[in-house]
Chains A and B, each alone.
Chain A
Amino acid sequence: MSDLPHPTAPRPTARATYRLAPVLRPRGAHRRLAGWLERSPRALRVFTTSERRSKERLFGCRMCGQCALPATGYACPMTCPKQLRNGPCGGVSPLGECEVYPGERCVWLIAHERAESAGRAADLARLQRPVDHRLAGTSSWVSYWLGRDEHLWTGDDGLAAPPAVHRPSVDLGLPRVRR
């Protein structure tokens, strides 16, 4: 199979993922681990590889490095052929098939069903901010534990007050952009 994004249904059930998610939530131990990993390049490589392997297998993860799963019913939007972070697009067939890969179920439809079944449909109304492509291939768990993922999406549907498209800047150790 080519490396192009392909709609991928998560292996674990919605119930299981929503139940297990709190285990990964940032806490003291996670923060300390993430901090140590960042100072230990070799350990970080090993950690990132195991994160990739497990998430690839479970969710079809493509290592965008900024995990949207908690807000998308744990169905990965990066497996959408258009990589929509705010899907689904208008091309979903009446049977729920992806327009690019007929016969395969639209991943955003899967996301909607899963979120709805867990009483989390409102999550899909949050606005997902643009992806930072510099993070591709990096560990999103480390970013999550260090609080860098906090503004990937808006806090609500954004209809009451116009939400800002900008995220507070993430320090990647890259040269600063002059404003």
Chain B
Amino acid sequence: MSARAGEARHPVPTPPPRLPAARGLRGALAAGRFAVTAEIGPPRGVDRTAITRSAALLRGWVDAANVTDNQGAHVRLSSLAGSLLAAEAGVEPVMQLTCRDRNRIALQSDLIAAATLGVPNVLLLTGDHPVFGDHPEAKPVFDLDSVQLVWAARTMRDDGLLLSGRPVDPRPGFLIGAVENPFAPPAGFRAARLGKKVAAGAEFCQTQFVFDVPAFARFMAEVADRGLDTRCAVLAGVGPIRSLRAYEFIRTKVPGVHVPDEVGRRLRGVPADRVAAEGVTLCVETIQALREIPGVAGVHVMAFGYERGIPEILERAGLERSARAG
């Protein structure tokens, strides 16, 4: 009210028309700029500064940051709350939403909530099974799967309808993302499975960690063959392995991650105090190699507990801050 009254007294001259700056994830993808996203893991505690701190480290370096949804089936601050805090701290959020804990009523409700509160991007996934988390005794919901959730979100946005057939008015306007793991068997079906998500409505896709670049290039060739890369921006997942213990963990304990032996040889081939630096260098080299693969629209950097290192990785990989700082 008062702002409007102020405007009436001192009319602000209309600024000359100019092209809208390519901001955020949608902007980067629309402009064809190599996109960068990262990940923020919400805290297990009532601590709003945890998100703000991570966001401050990423601000300006990424086009958007995912806020995970009780990642690994461990209880954390909700991804919706985390997304709002990230936005408040100046980082565009990608709200992750999994089918693990919610039936279709709750999923659609959370999608409406996210859109209402201004979350511009959602990443829709099936989610890890509760047995991997801190409440293995919990009831796994999985009322919808990821393809169906993407489909429901697209239907809400483009057709203005819920799964019930009832109208959603006004409609949400979010960008819809999905995930795919190019390295899990059956190798011959992974691009086709991404195709299902694209048919359902996915506009961008973040992949599992890429350590095996040639295998990823083969996946991307099939994605391009199917014409999927022009309909869905593929952001390759990357991240530094900063210790031999982390290497063993990610190789043996994280479902669906393929780490070639070459990575182990590189990490073991340096003195113990240089392993972390070697891991970071490997990550930088991976990003550089990924940029050369046709159809790769960007990278998604996952560096749990090492968000402070993300700017260095991006800078060394030639992904300057200036393009994103706006």
Docked CA distance A116–B126 (Å): 25
Nearest B-chain residue to A133, judged by Cβ: B143
A82 touches B155 (CB 8 A): no
Contact, CB under 8 Å: B144 / A100: no
Check A166/B144 contact, CB under 8 A, given A90-B208, A158-B200: no
Whether A138 is near chain B, meaning CB under 8 Å from some CB there, is no
Q: Are B142 and A130 within 8 A (Cβ)? A: no
How distant is B147 from chain A, measured CB to nearest CB, in Å? 4
Our pick among B104, B145, B163, B258 for the contact of A82 (Cβ within 8 Å) is: B145
Count of chain A residues with Cβ under 8 Å from any Cβ of B? 42
Instruction: Give complex CA distance A170, B42 in Å.
Output: 42
Q: Say whether B199 contacts A130, CB under 8 Å.
A: no
Contact indicator A92/B163 (Cβ below 8 Å): no
Residues of chain A lying within 8 A (CB to CB) of residue B199: 127, 154, 157-159, 162-163
Chain B residue contacts of A26, Cβ below 8 A: none
Q: How far is A159 from B199 in the complex, measured between Cα atoms in Å? A: 5
Using known A-B contacts A157-B199, A165-B151, A165-B152, determine if residue A130 contacts B165 with beta carbons closer than 8 Å. no
Given A86-B145, A112-B186, A130-B104, A92:B256 Cβ within 8 A: yes
Given that A158-B200, A163-B199 are contacting pairs, would A99 and B129 also be in contact in the complex, using a CB cutoff of 8 Å?
yes
Indicate if A64 sits at the interface (CB-CB under 8 A). no
Contact with B along A6-49 (1 / 0, CB 8 A): 00000000000000000000000000000000000000000000
Chain B nearest CB from A125 CB (Å) reads 5
B71 to chain A, nearest CB (A): 14
18 residue pairs A–B, Cβ–Cβ below 8 Å: A82-B126, A82-B129, A90-B255, A91-B181, A99-B129, A124-B189, A127-B196, A128-B147, A128-B148, A130-B104, A130-B144, A131-B143, A133-B143, A158-B199, A159-B199, A159-B226, A165-B154, A165-B155
Which residues of B does A touch, CB under 8 Å?
99, 104, 126, 128-129, 131-132, 140, 142-148, 151-152, 154-155, 158, 161, 163-166, 179-181, 183-186, 188-189, 192-193, 195-196, 198-201, 208, 226-227, 255-256, 258
